[in-house]
A and B are shown apart, each in its own frame.
Chain A
């Protein structure tokens, strides 16, 4: 009898133990408008992919909720000399398959990320030497000082050398791969989650990694990711409680989501700057009725355009309050002294006067290129710009196209074929120098062919480029910020570009879920907690 009773008691205790919820027991369902296209962390340099893979892989450093660089797989680092970086690696870290993490993996990844086929070539300078000092110390020896070497290393994910070699995944999977590679369908990182199953474009299941070196801040046992491309369906799935987190929420649905009993929208400024460019390079505009000269070469015309476009009005009328008008070509989060700049007020009358002075009292005609499926309300913004310029007599023909056609036309491979356009830019390096170099630097610099690569407007000022070069190697932060400030002042004085605003992030989150929102729009679910159902 007593045996029977204790057996019964034991069974009961076991059942109780099963019903008590352990710490990480929740399933979080997440839907994004885009798909997870490759699991190889070096195939695509794109923030949604980085965010997904950031749950599986880790870099030597990572960025916290406020984008500050903090130690990850490297415990600490120092600069014994300006061109030498020494990293002390974390000990007792294991990859998800059980392999230990050592200096060999870092050396392997430094080669792999710079190999042909990688889309992240610039993560480690091509001429940098990587030296293993011991199993847990690695030196990076550069040819010139680089104060922002590690700025993008939060998304330079460290892979397992042994695993890659065993699975024939040593070369990175190129974006144009013609045969599927093992690394593009499987993953083995050191991060908080491992990939349990992955069906490209349909569903990916992440499972919590019980052996993670860090103490988890999440309470999840798994994440189920589904892409839902249709806006209406994605919002419906959140409202009906079938998914817990969606990104993005279309602007027009934000109020409705907030009014619903079971979800809210997290909003905040994004790092991307939306701006307008004017072709200043050609002697005659490609798409305009002004022949024989280029009106945008006249600084007064550029100033007139700047002042005719009312970023505040765009904020209230087009963006429903969800944008932050910007005086700079870089987000305030990425440049300490941005507070010292203010955006000149819109002034259509002054603009009209400037245009008359420049010799266009009746304005002129120009075509504006615009994407219609890339940025928040992109085509609507361009439509508003057309109306605002009409007030000063400029007749703008709007050519709004899908991004596939738009980028093919206006970017370098298409020959910068645009006279007037709207573009968005997030500096990949999380640093202003990237903007000064890629967007505002002179094209056709014989010493630096990559300068001005995305400078579709063709703005060019040698003095500006000198400043950009100084900033590149300046290691003193205060001095460096002053130089960046000088450069932006110069660009603003030239009316080089018309910065419009930072668009807003909008994530739909179930009221059961707590989640940290980071301004680079990476949805990182290792900071998510979910109440029990």
Chain B
């Protein structure tokens, strides 16, 4: 078990290093940060001086060494655009992204499970068909289009919900939250739906398929034969058994919800890390790009690592194959 954990940990570190190398090599194609920082009529000498301060004149290998050295210690330097430490900027933006990601996941779970159960149990009703149609839309329409459609419907036409931003936020220590004010909650609705729609469809389809399969199993038949109420059978036995894979998928997807928040945040001008990253790409703000990519890959790697470990704890069959393999 220990060997397994250790091996997984080493693999995780390997992934991080790989991401670091790929990210660094990409920065070289993003353009010249200096011409993004100064006005067009800035003299060549002034530009040179800036290049020197930023260390962009050093040989590639020196730059790479410095980058890896700093990244390993989670020191990402100062943003080129804002002249502030990247760590501060990310910490300032993190609550917005996490709140959005959590709300989107909750939305996806609640509606995904409800719709999935319904369309499995009442397969041929018109509502079930409608849910199937919605799931098709959720899977096929790109996120930014859904976001813009929602904005035009609910902000411009109906005027119910704000089209951008987080609304009023309340500061609790270093965390800022929009959950405690009315405008903050209203601002959360559309971005959460936009971000969570894809996950919702995924969960809905998963629950429906699992549910249909479970309903055919022997223990459900025995339960019916024993005369249990339909409700007890459906929710006490069938649903509970479908939930294990659902929770696994939702957990694994949480990482990509954070990563995909980039698009949703851009559409809704949501002041989170994804928006910060997009603007960093446009302005060749290498320190922010580096920090964001490393952070997202860390989140992914951590979630996968934890899930791997949990699996072996939860599922004894997996543990035995693991120990046999060694």
Contact = CB atoms under 8 A, between A and B. Distances in A.
Q: Is chain B found bound to chain A in the same assembly?
A: yes
A240 interface: yes
A240 B276 contact: no
B310 interface: no
A200 B283 CA distance: 15
Contacts of A428: 39, 41
B241 interface: no
B81 interface: yes
Determine chain A's interface SS by DSSP, over half rule: loop
B84 A240 contact: no
Given A178-B78, A228-B269, A233 B32 contact: no
B37 interface: yes
Interface residues of A, number: 59
Contacts of A408: 31-32, 35
Contacts of A146: none
Interface string A205-248: 00000000000000000000011111011101101111000000
Interface in B158-174: 159, 162-165
Nearest to A36: B82
A404 B284 contact: yes
A521 to B, nearest CB: 14
B77 A178 contact: yes
A404 B35 contact: yes
Contacts of B44: 412-413, 453
A119 B32 contact: no
B32 A121 contact: no
Interface stretch (A136-144, A169-177, A326-334, A385-393): A169-177
Contacts of A227: 269
B77 to A, nearest CB: 7
Contacts, number: 158
Of B35, B275, B283, most buried by chain A (CB within 10 Å of CB) is: B35
B80 interface: yes
A289 to B, nearest CB: 27
Interface string A195-210: 0000111110000000
Interface residues of B, number: 55
A87 to B, nearest CB: 26
Nearest to A47: B39
Contact of A43 (B49, B83, B155, B163): B83
Interface string B12-29: 000000000000000000
Contacts of A241: 159
27 contacts: A31-B164, A37-B82, A43-B83, A44-B37, A44-B39, A45-B38, A46-B39, A175-B50, A176-B54, A178-B77, A179-B78, A181-B83, A202-B271, A226-B165, A229-B275, A229-B279, A230-B266, A233-B163, A236-B151, A241-B159, A242-B163, A404-B32, A407-B31, A408-B31, A413-B34, A438-B41, A454-B41
Given A45-B42, A174-B50, 7 more contacts: A35-B81, A180-B78, A201-B81, A228-B164, A233-B163, A413-B35, A450-B43
